Amino acid sequence: MNLSVACGDYDITRRLLDGSIGIGDHRLTLATFPPEEMFRRAFEAAEFDISELSVSLFMQRVGQGTCPYIGIPVFPSRAFRHSAIYVRTDGEIRAPVDLRGRKIGVRTYLNTAALVVRGLLADRYGIAAGEMHWLVGDVDKIERDTLPIPRLLRPVDIQAAPSGVLLSDMLMAGEIDALIHYTPPRELSQDRPRIKRLFADPGRSEREYFQSTGIFPIMHLVGIRRSLVEEHAPLARQVCEAFALARNAAIVEICSDAPPSASPKWPYGILKNRSALDSLTRYAFEQGLTDRQLSLDDLFVSNLLDE
């Protein structure tokens, strides 16, 4: 078959992108995009046969019965998110519990980073998403004409930021109390920044979190167009094997004299990632993205569930 493939340009995918590793005997058209563009094109138009997908958006679409993709247990992006919460240096927020009842800015309420932060706050500090007030907006520069306010299945106060107003400016002005964002706001790079991370030593907090839970949060997974899997049953395993070979090639490189890699080499497959996957499906239900806690049967190709 001729297959279109979209994924990020990581060390663990590079051998796929450069053609060194193929998917069975299929002919591939490969492309990389910024994540948000890739997700939009995948979910809105099912533009790709195989695509890297946002886990949170994928779960929401599966729960709605509108997702054109079925997942395979390949996870090209993972990240702890303790470092993604920002507050003012002179503000009243000094600990996670201080966020209860506060206004929190977020670029997109439904992205997986925000989902994981809200799950972390609920699990570890007892603060549910509905106990905070949420403001959706652009962070450091105006990027959108319309700000997406999701329809959730649980009552949560979510509003759009005023037109033309940036969340970073609102944080520094005290108009919001905290900001959740997957990359550091520009202000953090200034000589005397007026904002800081809520967790003073996020690396230590992340290590403690992993030691107590065993969870390294999954941000993205790989999906295959459902109709293709239904028509060509071997394809899902072929795609899994190709991504695994590309990841293994990256591991060989990092263990040689090549420059260090920035990507942690964590395992693919369901069994070794069950805790992380269960936490995500629970978060999606508790936060109103889905009407029930989705099972892994709902999300993944059935003959890959025991691997």
Q: What is the pLDDT of residues 26-78, one digit of tens each?
A: 999 999 999 999 999 999 999 999 999 999 999 999 999 999 999 999 999 99
Q: Same domain, yes or no, for 223 and 133?
A: no
d(CA 159, CA 95): 24
Q: What is the DSSP-derived secondary structure letter of residue 141?
A: S
One-letter amino acid for residue 80 of the chain:
F
Q: Same domain, yes or no, for 222 and 248?
A: yes
- The residue among 91, 131, 119, 110 whose CA lies nearest residue 283 is 119
Under the banding of pLDDT at 50, 70 and 90, the label for residue 256 is low
What's the mean pLDDT in 134-160? 96
What's the mean pLDDT in 132-148? 96
d(CA 120, CA 278): 14
Q: Same domain, yes or no, for 56 and 112?
A: no
User: What pLDDT is recorded for position 237?
Assistant: 97
Under the banding of pLDDT at 50, 70 and 90, the label for residue 250 is confident
Per-position b or e across 97-134, b if 16+ CB within 10 A of its CB: ebbeebbbbbbbbbbbbbbbbbbbbbbeeebebbebeb
- Quick check: helix, strand or coil at residue 205? helix
Q: Same domain, yes or no, for 75 and 221?
A: yes
Q: Same domain, yes or no, for 191 and 240?
A: no
Which pTM was predicted? 0.94
Q: Which residue has the higher pLDDT, 144 or 258?
A: 144
Q: In what order do the strands lie in the sheet with 178-180?
A: 157-160, 133-136, 103-106, 178-180, 85-88, 195-197
Q: Same domain, yes or no, for 95 and 65?
A: no
Under the banding of pLDDT at 50, 70 and 90, the label for residue 257 is low
Under the banding of pLDDT at 50, 70 and 90, the label for residue 263 is low
222, 72 contact by CB (below 8 A)? yes
Q: Same domain, yes or no, for 32 and 136?
A: no
Q: Same domain, yes or no, for 169 and 253?
A: no
Q: Same domain, yes or no, for 225 and 299?
A: yes
Domain stops at, among 180, 197, 213: 213
d(CA 43, CA 69): 8
pLDDT tens per residue across span 170-198? 999 999 999 999 999 999 999 999 999 99
289, 153 contact by CB (below 8 A)? yes
Report how many domains make up the chain.
Answer: 2
d(CA 155, CA 102): 16
Largest CA distance in the chain: 59
Domain stops at, among 213, 248, 278: 213
Q: Same domain, yes or no, for 110 and 259?
A: no
209, 215 contact by CB (below 8 A)? yes
Q: Same domain, yes or no, for 96 and 206?
A: yes
Asked if the model's pLDDT at residue 108 lies above 90, the reply is yes
Given CA atoms 174, 126, 197, 55 in this order, what sign does their dihedral have? negative
Asked if the model's pLDDT at residue 261 lies above 70, the reply is no
Q: Residue 209: give its domain's CATH number.
A: 3.40.190.10
Domain stops at, among 213, 234, 254: 213
User: What pLDDT is recorded for position 146?
Assistant: 93
Q: In what order do the strands lie in the sheet with 27-31?
A: 27-31, 2-6, 50-54, 218-225, 69-78
Q: Same domain, yes or no, for 209 and 91?
A: yes
Asked if the model's pLDDT at residue 156 lies above 60, the reply is yes
Give residue 137's domain range: 82-213
